[in-house]
Amino acid sequence: MSVAAVSVASPSTVVAVPNKAAARPPTARVAFNVNGTAHDLELDTRTTLLDALREHLRLTGTKKGCDHGQCGACTVIVDGRRINSCLSLAVMHDGDMITTIEGLGLPGNLHPMQQAFVVHDGYQCGYCTPGQICSAVAVLDEIKAGIPSHVTADLTGAPTVTRPELRERMSGNICRCGAYSNIVDAIVDVAGGKA
């Protein structure tokens, strides 16, 4: 049997079958969109979204800091929500719209959040930075969407952009260089508030 992946029944059902003849590990097909570009990949089922981005699509802006959901360096935005791409299988993202740091902006055409990080020196070694920026962009959307946080005083009210809110919501992105207070300044700047 040489079929590595077949689509059966409903189009959303994918079955991956081990390819014993070639002693290759099971693979599966997955199609998703990254930064506006459609990709159709056949991947070892074990491939995380993070490794699919970094090793297969060579989009290395998304960083691997811990590979266990403990640092946030791998944060990307999937269908408008930030997630840790290290704890997600690539094959589970069929049909998803994925935005990575490269999709936010590149030198010469930086996203306002990227520019604010430069102006406020919201980074040092730069390794957690793409994750911080992806998270920061999504955090402002989460506040806008009314999603509460641990420090939201009134659970039934709408949260606002305050420094304590930003600090709490950004806490899944570790920066060992300790640029935290500059990062919060950058986000406040982009939010346009005085916070």
- Residues from 86 through 105 that contact other proteins (CB under 8 A): 87-89, 91-92, 94, 100-102, 104-105
The yes or no reply on residue 184 touching other proteins (CB under 8 A) is yes
Binding other proteins (rule: CB under 8 A), the pick from 34, 183, 190, 191 is 183
Amino acid at 98: I
Check binding of 117 to other proteins (CB under 8 A): yes
User: Is 193 a residue that touches other proteins (CB under 8 A)?
Assistant: no
Residues 37-76 that bind other proteins (CB under 8 A): 44-48, 51, 54-55, 58-73, 75
Interface residues for other proteins in 7-26 (CB under 8 A)? 10, 12-18, 23-26
Distance CA 34, CA 174 (A): 25
Identify the burial level of 1 via C-beta atoms within 10 angstroms of its C-beta, where 0-12 means exposed, 13-18 middle and 19 or more buried. exposed
> Smallest gap, in angstroms, from Cβ of residue 129 to other proteins?
5
Indicate whether 124 belongs to the interface with other proteins (CB under 8 A): yes
Q: At what angle do helices 129-144 and 112-119 cross, to 10 degrees?
A: 120
Task: Name the helix (H) or strand (E) containing 75.
Answer: strand 75-78
Q: Does 6 bind other proteins (CB under 8 A)?
A: no
Tell the smallest beta-carbon distance from residue 38 to other proteins (Å): 20
CB of 10 to other proteins, least distance (A): 6
Could you tell me the two tokens for 93?
């993202």
Query: How many residues belong to the site for other proteins (CB under 8 A)?
Result: 106
Q: Nearest CA to 85 among 138, 126, 125?
A: 138
Q: Which of 17, 37, 18, 41 is nearest to 29 (CA)?
A: 41
